A and B are shown apart, each in its own frame.
Chain A
Amino acid sequence: MTERRPDGLTVLPSDVAPTDAIQVADFTPDLVDVGEHHLCPGCGEPIAIRAVMDGISLLGLADKCMAVFGIGCSTAFSNNLDVEVLQALHGRAPSVATGVIRMRPELAVFTIQGDGDMANEGLQEVLHAAARGENIVCIMLNNGVFGETGGHLTVTTTIGQRTKNTIEGRNAAEHGHPMRIAEMLAQIDGVGYVARGAVNDAGNVARTKRMIVDAFTAQQQQLGLSFVEILTMCPTGWFIPTDEAPAYLAETIAGTHAVGVLRSELT
C-alpha cells in the first residue's frame, strides 16, 4: 500500500469551494448524470468513460450522438449518461450501431464495450463493421479480464497475467496467445482512425482524451470506423492492491498492448 501519511502533516480544509478562484474541474462531467457508482475501488472504466464524455462535450456532440453499450462492468454507466443510450446484447454493439448509423448517418454513433464483450463475444462484429467502413466510433475498454464475473481470461489477457482461469499466469501452451485488437483493426481498410490509450496516470488520460477527440473528428468527417482501445485498471480482476494497478497496467498489460496511434486518415 502507499506509505502512510507522515505524522504532523498539515491537513487543509477541503470541503468548501473557494470564492477567490476559478473552477477547473467539477465532480462529474456534464454528461455523466450521477457520480456515485458501484464499480470497484480503483477501476479504470469510469476514468475512461469520463474521458469519452469530456470528448463529446468538447466537440459539442451531446445532442447529436448515441452510445451503444455492450454488456460488462461498463454497463453500470448505460443508464447514467446524459446522452441517448441503446443497450446491446453481449458482443453485438458494433452491429446494433450499424443499424443506427445506416438510418441516422448524421449522428456520432459510438459503442462502449469491454475486451470480453468486443474481443471475445463480438470480435466478428467489430471486424466486419470495420471492413464495411461503418461510420461509427468503437471504444474498447481493455483490462485483460472479464471483470464483471470476477477476473476471468479473455482473448487480450497477456502471457503471465494471472486470472481466475490462469491462476499461475497465462501460458501459451495451455491458454493460447493474446490478440492485439487495435493492431488487427489497423490493417482493415475500412477504418479511419485506430489508437490505443490508457488511464493509469494523468498523462495517459490526457493523451487518451486527444485520441478520443481525433476518433470522433474522423467519424464526423465520415472517414470510416474509428477505434480507440483504452487500457483500464482492474485491481479486483488482477488480484492486486488498488495502488499497484497503474504500474501493473504499464508493465503487464501495456507491454503486449502498446499505447499509441496506429492509423489515422485525418489530414
Chain B
Amino acid sequence: MTTRLVEGSEVVADAMVRAGCRFFAGYPMTPFTEVLEHMATALPPVGGVCVNAESELEAVGMVWGAAAAGTRAATGSTGQGLSLMQESIAEASLAGIGFVVLNMARGQGDYFQATRGGGHGDYRTPVLAPSGPVEVAELMAEAFELADRWRNPVVVVGDYYMAHTWVDIETPGEVPEPPPAPEWSLDGHSGGSGAAKLVSPLGTAKRRDGVGYDLAAHYEGCAQRRREMTAGITPRAELVETDDAEVVLVAYGTMARYADAAVSALRSEGHRVGLVRPITLWPFPEAQVKAAADGSAGVVAVYENNAGQMIDDVRLSLLGSSPVVGLNSFATDSSAFGIAPDVTVENLTASVRELLSEFGQDAT
C-alpha cells in the first residue's frame, strides 16, 4: 500500500473525478482556487472538461448545460462566489437539474447560505460537511448520487484547512467510469421525432400536448419532489462519547476536529464531555442532537467559527428541552479566512471547563 503526501484540494478534486464528475467550471478565489487547478489537470486525462469561467455566474450556467446534457458536473467557489450563483442553484431545483456545488469556505459564516439557500423561492439543497480530506472521498460520491437521484443541486462544504492541509493518502487505483447519462437528460436525438424533450424551470409541458406551461402544477410537483427528498435522505452525524456527557458539543467540519480533541483532553481529566458532529447539515441530524442532549447533558454548546448560525438548528432540534449556548466568542475569525490564530484546543477546553462549573454535576 503506497501512500502519497497530497494537498487537501487535490484530494477534493480527485474525489470529484472518482465520483464521476466529468465537467467542472470555476473562477479562482481563495481558498477554492487550488481545487480548480487540480480539476484542470485531473479531468482531461479521463475525457472530462474543466472551464475557467469568466465569472461565477457563467460557471454555474455552464454546469447547468453540462448537467442537462447528461454529464455529472460540478462548480465551486467560496462564500462570495457562491452568492453570485444562488439564482442558478435555486432555479436548477425547479428545472430538475442536479449538480454538486463545492464551498471551500472561509470560516463557517456560510452555514445559512448553504443550509437555507441564498436563492429565491421554495427550494432546499442537501448539504454535506466532511471534516477532513479522508471523509471527502466518501461524501463526494454521495453528493453526486444525491444530485442525480433527486435532480437537485447538492452543496459540499469544505474550508481553508481542508484546502491547504497536506495529508498522507493511499494512492488511489483506477478512476471508475462515470455513470451513463440519465434518461431525462438531453442529447439532441429526440428532435424531429414529434416528441422532442424539454428541460426547463418552467416545467416540461409541451404545447403539442394541448397544454402550455402550468406553473401552479409544476411548482406543486417541485414541492412534492422536495418533500420526498427531505424524507428520503437520512440525516447523519458522528457521535463521540455523548452517552453520559454533561456538556454536549456540536460542531461540524474542521471545527469538529478541534472539538474532538477537546473532548479527549477533558475526558482524560475526568470531565464528561461529548460531541455531536453533523455530517449532513441539511437535513440536519435533529434526532442525534436531541438524543445526546436528553441522555444526561446539562448544556449543549454549539462551537462555530461564525457569530452563531448552526445554533438555530440545534435550538430547533431541542425546542427548549435543554439549555443551548454558543461558543463563538474566540472563534470569530480574526483572519477573515477561517484560520484565526486564536482557534485552539486550549481555548476551547478552557471555555468548556467554565460550562462544566456552571452546568455540570460539580456545579457549585
A–B Cβ pairs within 8 angstroms, 25 of them: A31-B192, A61-B191, A63-B192, A64-B188, A65-B191, A75-B202, A82-B196, A83-B188, A83-B191, A86-B68, A86-B198, A87-B200, A89-B61, A89-B87, A89-B88, A92-B61, A94-B61, A95-B64, A96-B62, A98-B51, A99-B64, A100-B65, A100-B69, A103-B66, A124-B57
Residues of A within 8 A of B (CB): 30-31, 33-34, 37, 61-66, 68-69, 75, 78-89, 91-92, 94-104, 107-108, 124-125, 128
Q: Could you tell me the distance between the alpha carbons of A108 and B73 in the complex, rounded to whole angstroms?
A: 21
Tell me if A66 and B186 are in contact (CB < 8 A).
yes
Tell me if A97 and B65 are in contact (CB < 8 A).
yes
Set of chain A residues within 8 Å of B200, measured between Cβ atoms: 69, 78-79, 85-87
Q: Tell yes or no: B22 within 8 A of A by CB.
A: yes
- Interface centre among B49, B186, B207, by most A CB within 10 Å? B207
Set of chain B residues within 8 Å of A62, measured between Cβ atoms: 191-192
Residue of A nearest to B192 (CB): A62
Partner among A79, A87, A91, A104 whose Cβ is within 8 Å of the Cβ of B212: A79
B175-193 at interface with A (beta carbon < 8 Å): 186-193
Residue of B nearest to A101 (CB): B65
Min C-beta distance of B49 to chain A, whole Å: 5
Tell me if A63 and B188 are in contact (CB < 8 A).
yes
Q: Could you tell me the distance between the alpha carbons of A66 and B208 in the complex, rounded to whole angstroms?
A: 18
Tell me if B58 and A128 are in contact (CB < 8 A).
yes
Q: Tell yes or no: B236 within 8 A of A by CB.
A: no
Q: Tell yes or no: B70 within 8 A of A by CB.
A: yes
A104-B62 CB under 8 A given contacts A79-B202, A79-B213, A81-B196: no
A84-B190 CB under 8 A given contacts A79-B213, A99-B23, A128-B58: yes
Set of chain B residues within 8 Å of A97, measured between Cβ atoms: 65
Set of chain A residues within 8 Å of B206, measured between Cβ atoms: 33, 79-80
Residue of A nearest to B73 (CB): A99
Partner among A82, A96, A124 whose Cβ is within 8 Å of the Cβ of B192: A82
Against A, the Cβ 8 Å flags (1 = close, 0 = not) of B194-222 are 11111111111111100011000000000
Min C-beta distance of A222 to chain B, whole Å: 16
Tell me if A87 and B65 are in contact (CB < 8 A).
no
Tell me if A92 and B64 are in contact (CB < 8 A).
yes
| Closest 10 pairs between A and B when the two form their complex, measured CB to CB | A99-B65, A95-B61, A62-B192, A87-B200, A99-B66, A99-B62, A33-B208, A92-B61, A96-B65, A83-B191
Tell me if B191 and A63 are in contact (CB < 8 A).
yes
Tell me if B202 and A84 are in contact (CB < 8 A).
no
Q: Could you tell me the distance between the alpha carbons of A102 and B66 in the complex, rounded to whole angstroms?
A: 7
Q: Could you tell me the distance between the alpha carbons of A87 and B335 in the complex, rounded to whole angstroms?
A: 42
Min C-beta distance of A132 to chain B, whole Å: 8
Set of chain A residues within 8 Å of B213, measured between Cβ atoms: 79
Q: Could you tell me the distance between the alpha carbons of A15 and B295 in the complex, rounded to whole angstroms?
A: 83
Q: Tell yes or no: B114 within 8 A of A by CB.
A: no
Q: What number of B residues sit within 8 Å (CB to CB) of A? A: 52
Q: Could you tell me the distance between the alpha carbons of A63 and B23 in the complex, rounded to whole angstroms?
A: 24
Q: Tell yes or no: B55 within 8 A of A by CB.
A: yes
Q: Tell yes or no: B53 within 8 A of A by CB.
A: yes
Residue of A nearest to B65 (CB): A99
Q: Could you tell me the distance between the alpha carbons of A66 and B70 in the complex, rounded to whole angstroms?
A: 13
Against A, the Cβ 8 Å flags (1 = close, 0 = not) of B35-57 are 00000000000000101011101
Q: Could you tell me the distance between the alpha carbons of A101 and B23 in the complex, rounded to whole angstroms?
A: 11
Set of chain B residues within 8 Å of A31, measured between Cβ atoms: 191-192
Against A, the Cβ 8 Å flags (1 = close, 0 = not) of B64-79 are 1111111101000000
Q: Tell yes or no: B310 within 8 A of A by CB.
A: no
Q: Could you tell me the distance between the alpha carbons of A33 and B213 in the complex, rounded to whole angstroms?
A: 14
List 20 extra interface pairs beyond A88-B65, A97-B65, CB under 8 A.
A61-B191, A66-B69, A79-B202, A82-B192, A85-B199, A86-B64, A86-B186, A86-B199, A89-B201, A92-B64, A96-B61, A98-B65, A99-B62, A100-B68, A102-B51, A103-B23, A103-B49, A103-B70, A125-B58, A128-B58
Tell me if B207 and A82 are in contact (CB < 8 A).
no
Q: Could you tell me the distance between the alpha carbons of A77 and B194 in the complex, rounded to whole angstroms?
A: 15
Tell me if B63 and A99 are in contact (CB < 8 A).
yes
Residue of A nearest to B211 (CB): A79
Set of chain B residues within 8 Å of A69, measured between Cβ atoms: 200
Q: Tell yes or no: B91 within 8 A of A by CB.
A: yes
Q: Could you tell me the distance between the alpha carbons of A104 and B67 in the complex, rounded to whole angstroms?
A: 11
- Interface centre among B51, B188, B198, B208, by most A CB within 10 Å? B188
Set of chain B residues within 8 Å of A86, measured between Cβ atoms: 64-65, 68-69, 186, 198-200
Tell me if B191 and A99 are in contact (CB < 8 A).
no
Partner among B59, B62, B68 whose Cβ is within 8 Å of the Cβ of A102: B62
- Interface centre among B73, B186, B192, B204, by most A CB within 10 Å? B192
Q: Could you tell me the distance between the alpha carbons of A88 and B275 in the complex, rounded to whole angstroms?
A: 44
Q: Tell yes or no: B136 within 8 A of A by CB.
A: no
Set of chain A residues within 8 Å of B301, measured between Cβ atoms: none
Tell me if A128 and B49 are in contact (CB < 8 A).
no
Partner among A64, A83, A85, A124 whose Cβ is within 8 Å of the Cβ of B55: A124
Residue of A nearest to B66 (CB): A99
Q: Tell yes or no: B95 within 8 A of A by CB.
A: yes
Min C-beta distance of A50 to chain B, whole Å: 15
Q: Could you tell me the distance between the alpha carbons of A78 and B200 in the complex, rounded to whole angstroms?
A: 9
Set of chain A residues within 8 Å of B208, measured between Cβ atoms: 33-34, 80, 82
Q: Could you tell me the distance between the alpha carbons of A107 and B187 in the complex, rounded to whole angstroms?
A: 8
Set of chain A residues within 8 Å of B198, measured between Cβ atoms: 78-79, 84-87
